[in-house]
Structure 1
């Protein structure tokens, strides 16, 4: 009998994920807090036997600038707007180990039970930006696989596209390079990404954190379809937005929305795919951890009363494939 599933995927990127938005105007304490809070998150996940996929920017695997350059591909992304290139940013502003490298945290992720190491591309690669090419993308994800295998003996199977910009023409390349599972966007129209951000879509996304603005966020296993020449697409359900100081009502309603959706998914025996960035905990780590504990506490309750399971992207994808094989066998 199918049960509800909680899947958590995290976009682990540090400054590589937001350099094109904030440049050098970042608070060092923000990323220092992020580095400190990740081991505490891992401890909570281990204590509660929660499977989590850590979609990690490949550049974070490097120990230093020399190693970063060694693993970088020969064919770099040729975006028309150079400000989106991690390599161009590094050339102009230099490398800062405290916000650009995190091999010690990746080791902790690997060593923590129930955690899956995934990819967020090597250089936070934008597949919908003009100027870049399929071969550049291929070399980028090849670099992620290479540094993960050579440094940590890890073969990466799950991929999250940066900014959730999914170029469907590149899905075949993902599978060819070993990525069997990809996180998709929620099915509502305001989550479908284009090259440039749509302000009206952003408004609907923000509002949807408090009030239902579209269809339900959970989905059944049967709703996940995949082609033999493409990865399994595992749609996201909800981003866990960070705690905001000075607005208790805002925080209460936002968290209640997540908890309510989780409970509904468990009762309907559906999948609820929650995601966020670890650096989202950087401004208010203690408050964010309290919220995470509430989410995990509810999960344990739903597990006890409704049989809800915790599955990483990889294990959820395996279940989708097994279901497909079973259906084909029954048809024959």
Structure 2
């Protein structure tokens, strides 16, 4: 049997994650709180020896507008609806350091043990929106790799598609541009084709945070797979940690209990449980959100002690999966043997 795994991936965006939704109505205080909570997150992860993948929008690596221009790709996404373009948004609204750049926070992440900087594309690129092209997506990924390499000396290995717009036709491009693993969507029907946000899908996704609306969200190691030999490992998400619901203790308790139950099921059955959220989700109620996360990590430690559950970033999970797949190819009779992990 393979060990149970707890994986966390964060979509690190600041304003780049919601620019097309807010227009002129930017709540700057919300993002200032987000910037303050990130060092607290890092401290909590370090104290609990939790590995995390920070899927970071490439534009956040820039120090200022001049650097932003320097690293932006020549061919930008040609969405039919220009409101989806970060570049068009900038033309109308300009750039502000606290909302659009975060090299200081990226440095803090890299200095914290167990943390991986991944990619959320360079410009929060929507791969399922009409008008953009595969070549534009490739240039976007190249820009993300270039700014990460030249500024911080790292190669990005894990990718999260913005808005969970998972375009299977683009996976080969991801592999060719250096990405070894990609976060996939949960396999339930209401997480498929997320660009078509029907009311029923949204309601089902929300309800599923409290009561089961689909199949079990954790999954066996066999479901970390490649669609093609040169493509990245696909690592489905299990659960979105939704924001803290104000003073509604019942809703908050139901949310956490759902996660605890799913984590326990994963640990008992040697499966993978992949939790994700956005750091800015902690912006409205930072103290309460951090308290909830501490409870989740405490539950992980109980499962680690009882079932040997591991905390692995997407990169480390991909490395372990690669080792396992190579062993099973060479020695088919050892497919069910435990991989020793130090």
Please give the range of the TM-score, normalised by the shorter of the 2 chains: over 0.9
**1:233-261 deviation digits (Å, cap 9, x = unpaired):** 00000000010113111111011111111
Q: Is 49-58 or 16-25 further displaced after alignment?
A: 16-25
1:154-169 correspondence to structure 2 within 5 Å:
154-169=154-169
The residue number in structure 2 matching 1:256 is: 257
**1:96-138 deviation digits (Å, cap 9, x = unpaired):** 1110000000000000000000000000000001000000000
The residue number in structure 2 matching 1:77 is: 77
1:118-267 correspondence to structure 2 within 5 Å:
118-226=118-226, 227-267=228-268
Q: Does structure 1 residue 295 correspond to structure 2 residue 303?
A: no
Aligned residues: 332
- In 1, are the aligned partners of 2:225 and 2:235 still within 8 Å (CA)? no
Question: Does the residue aligned with 2:9 lie in a helix, a strand or coil?
Answer: strand
Q: Is 199-208 or 276-285 further displaced after alignment?
A: 199-208
Structure 2 residues not aligned, in runs of 5+ = 334-342
Q: Does structure 1 residue 276 correspond to structure 2 residue 277?
A: yes
Q: What's the TM-score, normalizing by structure 2? A: 0.96
Displacement, 1:224? 2.0
Distance in 2 (CA, whole Å) between partners of 1:212 and 1:130 is: 33
The residue number in structure 1 matching 2:38 is: 38
**1:263-311 deviation digits (Å, cap 9, x = unpaired):** 1111111100000000000000000000000001111111111110000
Structure 1 residues not aligned, in runs of 5+ = none
Structure 1 consecutive aligned stretches of length 4 or more whose deviation exceeds 3 Å: none
**1:34-75 deviation digits (Å, cap 9, x = unpaired):** 000000000000011100000000000000000000000000
**1:5-60 deviation digits (Å, cap 9, x = unpaired):** 00000000000000111112122111011000000000000011100000000000
Distance in 1 (CA, whole Å) between partners of 2:178 and 2:229 is: 13
